Structure 1
Amino acid sequence: MPNEIELKLRISSTDLSRLRHHPAILAALTGRPVTRKLTSIYYDTPQLALLDAGISLRVRRMSGGWFQAVKAAGHSLNGLHQRMEWEDIIAAGHPDFSKITDPELTRIFDDPVLRAALAPIFTTEVQRTEWHLAWDNGDQVELALDLGTLLIDEGGERHPGEPISEIELELKGGDTVRLFDLALALQQDIPLQLENISKAQRGYAHYRPQPPAIVTARRTRLDRHGRASDAFRQIAQECLAQLQGNQEMVLHGQDAEGVHQMRIALRRLRSAVSIFGDSIDRKCALPLLAEIHWIDGVLGAARELDVFAAQTLPPMLLHLHGHPGLLQLRARADDARADAYAAVRAALPSPRYQHLLLALGAWLEGNRWHEPGSAEPDVLDIARNMLGKRHRQLLRHGRKLAKAQPEQRHAARIAAKKLRYTAEFFASLYPGKKTQPLLRPLTRLQDVLGELNDIAVTESLVRQLAGNRPGRALDEALHLFAGWNASNAMHRLEDMEQVWRKFSRCVPFW
């Protein structure tokens, strides 16, 4: 039951020559590249029973022979696909069930009704060029360039689906980080993009389209007796999964929550780096943190305008319908929001952002984040120390919060966010009945402080939208916003007093 590990990357047809002659390939090449035609036929029932079971069945024609592959559902992150694969030589171009011997699979494929219903559902026809690469430390990688077409099988006919132009870096031996290092070397000269969607997923999408979805932070489940290094790696990977999971929504969807969730993922990742700071190699981390700050800023500009357009402005327009200054602000905000989203949608496919994702993958897979020679504490020790530290910081910044200056409330908001992320990361180490009595009021406190921060951001944003010479209508709108924000802030401060009292009485669960 071999585990297939490969990194998928999209490549433009204009960059193929640069790939074929790239120094990183030529330096590690063993033998001559091999080019051949591959016809891969994917089978399933009309009801897509195999898809629902998390399995794909493929029959491939290659070099005059037939090969059957069964793949179990795996996962992909940073373009890295990991799944179980069973591949066998077969006699003809249709499934040979006698080759399927794994007990879990035979329970599915021994069903005569399923066997009778299986039929081709889509086909890929590609020209594949393979380079076999090897390094002195024993790492081995097969680099495959696939150029061709995805064809949809319907009613006994094949209809063109979409073009295929991608690179697969498959690990044949050695360390997984080699895949990222090779991709980074190629990406220095070729604008490659990470591909988290397999050919099978693209084919199935024609039968069962999956619209972009919002991906929130999953509940982290850590090993209570585990090492801090394992905990950090798991947390960081979950942050990256949330980051990339919302990319399709931001690029192609309509829900503004996608941008918000990408920012949350970035902030959680930065918080994780801070929590495990004593074990982090700062020299390696600083360039990555700088790039995270860059993309967070691009997303932040869009997020501020999302909040203004969807939450701040509509209630005012409802009460002051038709006010010319507010209508002008809405028009300017819509234009600015369109520009901000255009900047986001240009940044995500850009070489700079793609390089960041690959660099983060190499940083984690190669354990380059770990400070050489640093102590290896237990995860429980880290949890106790950091939860206590974050809790004390919030209590200090939260004193007399309702009467505090905006700067102190801002510091309290940051402290609340840090404590919440830390508590969520480590909550699985403690009984739920102990964690929830603190997490619930902490979350509400962060929400109220966030609403106050949104009010402060709105004041600056409105002035920016109005410009230096706003005119009479916009000047009236600015005064309206000042009064509206003052009223909202007063109500939020009243809420905050109650929320703070409840939180400050909570018993720490650590």
Structure 2
Amino acid sequence: MAETKREIERKYEATSRTRVPDLTRVPAVAEVVDQGVMELDAVYYDTPDLRLAADAITLRRRTGGSDEGWHLKLPVASGIRDEIRAPLADTLPGELAGLLRSRVRDGEVVPVVRLRSARDVRHLQAADGTLLAELSIDTVHAERLPGGAEAAWTEIEVELADDTEGTDGAGEALLDAIEKRLRKADIRPSSAPSKLSRALKETSTDGDTASGGALAPTGASAPGGAPAPGTAGHAVLAYVREQAEAIVALDPAVRRDLPDAVHQLRVACRRMRSAFKTYRKVLDRDVTDPVGAELKWLAGELGVARDQEVLTERLRGRIDALPRTLRLGPVRGRLRTWSAARARSGRRRVLAALDSARYLALLDTLDELLADPPLRKAAARDARKVLARAVLKDHDRLTARVGRARALDPGRDLDVALHEARKAAKRARYAADAAAPTLGKPARRFAKRVKSVQSLLGEHQDAVVAREALRELADQAHAAGETAFTWGLLHGREEAAAAAAEGELPDAWARASAPEIRAALTR
């Protein structure tokens, strides 16, 4: 079973003559305890074209030390990585292979670098003996595989202890204080973010994708006929590429069940699909429509888990807000049981989709589309004009749907019409987001106004969905001989919430449809 450790560290340049200064002069560090020298032997794996290194991901099989085994490191932020560890084995553990699937696809990982290190370890401890950080002086010998160039260097690593990481601001403050002492001793931060990146750079050969540390992205770059900066094609493709990269990057987070990961992956799918529709004069729909259909499928598979998560959170909040005298029967327990079964089903569905051949084919198709984009005539035109026109067209579409909904009386038809208006609002907002790098503040202001309408309509739709769930929960409670009073009470409150959203719509829409908001896009 793999385990995860948050790694927060900083690296520094060193030589065999470098001397670490007295770190007990760092606030909070009372003692530096020598732990001796350990010998580490690690083989790093990647695809033949170094896709993992391109995304600052490292995969290694290491022997020696207290944590020998397979280690997969995924970037979180500068100087911060999540290290997923699996027991030592001859072959890559399946759990780690799954986390790499969006990048490796149906390919394989092969040995690319071997690093043998002599690690001189020192523990930085507080006065009560608590471990604050670990400093190591690593003498590294790198060998490019198979049978390639070699390199050697010395570096210093300072890594926060697990308990220090979770202290608000204390970890970064400690690292800053240690770095200040190291700099006074003329020890400077390393220019390489990891040992692997340095090894690839220092053992590179002519034509190597790792040369100079400039690694190629997973998807191939567009051919020589790529649209020029300032054109509509360049702007739209940049946005589409951003979403494609988000899908690949979020895949392992979804597999690890990290907070909000499913939602963010679903949003990336929706944003790309929306861009294909909005900018169909830039990208040929004969090519993008089938891709959009696959993105819709993936978003749908993700949606089961995400929608259940949102619904459960809403109902739990509604129950918690009730006075105790109005919570009759085992309402919390029934909600928990009802939600857990659906959450498990949704989770299985998500993982099945990500493990499917259909999903991998979609990722390959996205790479192909970006490598050879299906550009139409408008792609070569000025981005400002083309994008502004497309955003306004989506806004016109939203205007029609809002008008249709506002003409209806409360009831099922109105609920459906408002849901359709919500989807149109989302599309108009995404269109403006895609145009924002080109159109600037007017597009961002437009997106903000439309988002307020989208959020209001989202609240309405959430209330509609919650009412359906509450009826189901009430039926289950009644069948079990429990009172359905609380579920009925909550149903009434969701009706009130929907009515309130309907009442707020005219003002929100007036702000989002103001003539000056639209006019600013074309100036």
TM-score bracket, normalised by the shorter chain, equals 0.5 to 0.7
**Aligned positions of 1:115-154 closer than 5 A:** none
- In structure 2, relative to structure 1, the CA distance for the partners of 1:464 and 1:45 (3 Å cut) is same
Q: CA deviation at 1:324?
A: 3.2
Structure 1 residue aligned with 2:372, among 367, 376, 399? 367
**3-state SS in 1 of match to 2:51:** strand
Code of the residue aligned with 2:303 in structure 1: it is G
- In structure 2, relative to structure 1, the CA distance for the partners of 1:37 and 1:391 (3 Å cut) is closer
Cα distance in 2 between the residues matched to 1:481 and 1:357: 43
For the pair 1:357 / 2:363, whether they are aligned, the reply is: yes
Code of the residue aligned with 1:419 in structure 2: it is A
**3-state SS in 2 of match to 1:61:** strand
**Aligned positions of 1:332-481 closer than 5 A:** 332-364=338-370, 366-370=371-375, 376-399=380-403, 401=405, 404=408, 405-432=414-441, 434-463=442-471, 471=479, 472-473=481-482, 476=485, 479-481=488-490
1:258 aligned residue: 261
Residues 318, 490 of structure 2: 8 Å contact kept: no
TM-score, length basis structure 1: 0.57
Cα distance in 2 between the residues matched to 1:268 and 1:306: 21
For the pair 1:228 / 2:218, whether they are aligned, the reply is: no
Superposed CA offset, 1:289-347 (max 9, x none):
23212211111111111111112332134414353356423311122112212322343
Residues 456, 501 of structure 2: 8 Å contact kept: yes
Structure 2 residue aligned with 1:280, among 274, 280, 283? 283
Cα distance in 1 between the residues matched to 2:468 and 2:342: 14
Q: CA deviation at 1:461?
A: 4.0
Q: CA deviation at 1:395?
A: 2.0
Residues 42, 122 of structure 1: 8 Å contact kept: no
Cα distance in 2 between the residues matched to 1:248 and 1:264: 16
Residues 325, 475 of structure 1: 8 Å contact kept: no
- In structure 2, relative to structure 1, the CA distance for the partners of 1:428 and 1:37 (3 Å cut) is closer
Cα distance in 2 between the residues matched to 1:385 and 1:36: 49
Superposed CA offset, 1:133-170 (max 9, x none):
xxxxxxx999xxxxxxxxxxxxxxxxxxxxxxxxxx98
- In structure 2, relative to structure 1, the CA distance for the partners of 1:376 and 1:122 (3 Å cut) is closer
Q: CA deviation at 1:421?
A: 0.9
Code of the residue aligned with 1:291 in structure 2: it is E
Q: CA deviation at 1:384?
A: 2.2
Code of the residue aligned with 2:362 in structure 1: it is L
Code of the residue aligned with 2:400 in structure 1: it is R
Gaps of 5+ in 1: 17-23, 26-33, 48-56, 69-92, 97-110, 125-139, 143-168, 182-222
- In structure 2, relative to structure 1, the CA distance for the partners of 1:121 and 1:496 (3 Å cut) is closer
Give the aligned CA root-mean-square deviation in angstroms. Answer: 4.7
Cα distance in 2 between the residues matched to 1:116 and 1:388: 52
Cα distance in 1 between the residues matched to 2:344 and 2:269: 23
**3-state SS in 2 of match to 1:360:** helix
- In structure 2, relative to structure 1, the CA distance for the partners of 1:464 and 1:263 (3 Å cut) is farther
**Aligned positions of 1:296-315 closer than 5 A:** 296-315=299-318
Cα distance in 2 between the residues matched to 1:453 and 1:289: 24
Cα distance in 2 between the residues matched to 1:44 and 1:272: 53
2:143 aligned residue: 61
Cα distance in 2 between the residues matched to 1:300 and 1:36: 38
2:494 aligned residue: 485
Q: CA deviation at 1:230?
A: 1.4
| Percent of paired sites with the same residue | 21
Superposed CA offset, 1:419-458 (max 9, x none):
11111111233352x4454333322111001111112222
Residues 240, 265 of structure 1: 8 Å contact kept: yes
**Aligned positions of 1:11-160 closer than 5 A:** 38-39=114-115, 59-62=141-144, 66-68=149-151, 93-94=152-153
1:321 aligned residue: 327
Superposed CA offset, 1:476-507 (max 9, x none):
56534431221111222222232123223351
- In structure 2, relative to structure 1, the CA distance for the partners of 1:279 and 1:45 (3 Å cut) is farther
Cα distance in 1 between the residues matched to 2:118 and 2:266: 38
For the pair 1:498 / 2:503, whether they are aligned, the reply is: no
Q: CA deviation at 1:114?
A: 6.0
Residues 329, 483 of structure 2: 8 Å contact kept: no
2:23 aligned residue: none
2:253 aligned residue: 249
Cα distance in 1 between the residues matched to 2:256 and 2:396: 43
**3-state SS in 2 of match to 1:369:** coil
**3-state SS in 2 of match to 1:280:** coil
1:7 aligned residue: 51
Gaps of 5+ in 2: 1-47, 54-58, 60-90, 98-105, 124-138, 156-182, 197-205, 221-226, 409-413
Residues 464, 498 of structure 2: 8 Å contact kept: no
- In structure 2, relative to structure 1, the CA distance for the partners of 1:476 and 1:332 (3 Å cut) is same
Residues 438, 506 of structure 1: 8 Å contact kept: no
Q: CA deviation at 1:265?
A: 1.0
- In structure 2, relative to structure 1, the CA distance for the partners of 1:141 and 1:396 (3 Å cut) is same
**3-state SS in 2 of match to 1:382:** helix
Cα distance in 2 between the residues matched to 1:42 and 1:435: 55
- In structure 2, relative to structure 1, the CA distance for the partners of 1:43 and 1:280 (3 Å cut) is farther
Superposed CA offset, 1:149-201 (max 9, x none):
xxxxxxxxxxxxxxxxxxxx989xxxx89x869xxxxxxxxxxxxxxxxxxxx
- In structure 2, relative to structure 1, the CA distance for the partners of 1:44 and 1:388 (3 Å cut) is farther
**3-state SS in 2 of match to 1:60:** strand
**3-state SS in 1 of match to 2:142:** strand
Code of the residue aligned with 1:282 in structure 2: it is R
Cα distance in 2 between the residues matched to 1:249 and 1:36: 25
Superposed CA offset, 1:101-152 (max 9, x none):
xxxxxxxxxx99566998x99988xxxxxxxxxxxxxxx999xxxxxxxxxx
